[in-house]
Structure 1
Amino acid sequence: MTVYYIITHNCNLSCPHCIRGASNNNNMNTQSAIAGLNKLFDDYPDATIILSGGEPTLHPDFDIILQEASKLFRCVVINSNGTINYFRTSDSWKQNNVIIQFSIDGDENTHNEIRGKGNFEKVIHNIEFINQNNKQIWISTTVSKNNYDSIKKLPDVFCKYRIGKWQIAPMMPFGNANRSDIISIDEWNELVDELIEITPFRLGVRKLFDINKLISLTDSDIQRIAENSRNMDFRNCGCLQSKVYVYPNMNVYPCTCLTDMPLGRLSKDTLKSILAKANQNCIICSCEKCRKCRYFPICNGGCWGMQKKYGADIRCPLVGELTNV
Structure 2
Amino acid sequence: MIDKYNRKIDYVRLSITDKCNFRCNYCMNENVRFMQDNELLSLIEIEKLVKVLKDLKFKNIRLTGGEPTLRPDIIDIAKIIKNYFGEFSITTNGSLMHILAQDLKKNGLKNVNFSLDSLNRYTFTKITKRDDLNNVLNGLEKSLEIGLNVKLNTVIQKRNFNEVFELIEFAAKYKLPIRFIELMPIGNNYNENDFISEDILKSKISEKYSLIPYDKKLGIGPSKYYIIKELNSKIGFISAMTHNFCSSCNKIRISANGNIYPCLAFDYHIPIKDVILKEEKLKEKIQFAILEKPQRHYLNEIKKVTPMHKMGG
TM over 0.5: yes
Secondary structure of the corresponding residue to residue 204 of structure 1: strand
8 Å CA contact 1:144–1:181 kept in 2: the answer is yes
Query: Which amino acid in 2 is paired with 1:6?
Result: S
Aligned pairs for 1:118-137 within 5 A: 118-137=131-150
Paired with 1:135 and 1:10, the residues of 2 have a C-alpha distance of 24
5+ residue gaps, structure 1, are: 211-232, 285-299, 311-325
Structure number with higher strand proportion = 2
Larger relative CO (CA 8 A, sep 6+): 1 or 2? 2
Aligned-residue CA RMSD (Å) = 3.3
Secondary structure of the corresponding residue to residue 106 of structure 1: coil
Structure 1 residue 252, shift from structure 2 partner? 0.3
Query: Which amino acid in 2 is paired with 1:235?
Result: F
TM-score by length of 2: 0.72
TM-score by length of 1: 0.69
Encode CA deviations 1:264-315: one digit per residue, 9 max, x unaligned.
Answer: 4262666764465356556x6xxxxxxxxxxxxxxx55x33444318xxxxx
Q: Which residue of 2 aligns with 1:223?
A: none
The one of 224, 228, 246 aligned to 1:236 = 246
8 Å CA contact 2:179–2:235 kept in 1: the answer is yes
Q: CA 1:192–1:170 in 2, change beyond 3 Å: closer, same or farther?
A: farther
Q: Which residue of 2 aligns with 1:292?
A: none
Structure 1 residue 207, shift from structure 2 partner? 6.0
Structure 1 residue 136, shift from structure 2 partner? 3.8
Encode CA deviations 1:129-184: one digit per residue, 9 max, x unaligned.
Answer: 22222334221111112212212221222233353x32321111112222221124
Identity of aligned residues (%): 23
Q: CA 1:170–1:53 in 2, change beyond 3 Å: closer, same or farther?
A: same
Q: Which residue of 1 aligns with 2:154?
A: 141
Paired with 2:168 and 2:14, the residues of 1 have a C-alpha distance of 29
Paired with 2:281 and 2:99, the residues of 1 have a C-alpha distance of 33
Q: Which residue of 2 aligns with 1:249?
A: 257
Structure number with higher helix proportion = 1
8 Å CA contact 1:144–1:171 kept in 2: the answer is yes
Secondary structure of the corresponding residue to residue 26 of structure 2: coil
Q: Which residue of 2 aligns with 1:34?
A: 47
Aligned pairs for 1:99-118 within 5 A: 99-109=111-121, 110-118=123-131
Paired with 1:66 and 1:54, the residues of 2 have a C-alpha distance of 17
The one of 201, 224, 235 aligned to 1:203 = 235
8 Å CA contact 1:19–1:174 kept in 2: the answer is no
8 Å CA contact 1:105–1:142 kept in 2: the answer is yes
| Structure showing greater Rg | 1
Q: CA 1:256–1:45 in 2, change beyond 3 Å: closer, same or farther?
A: closer
Name the stretch that deviates more: 128-137 or 271-280: 271-280
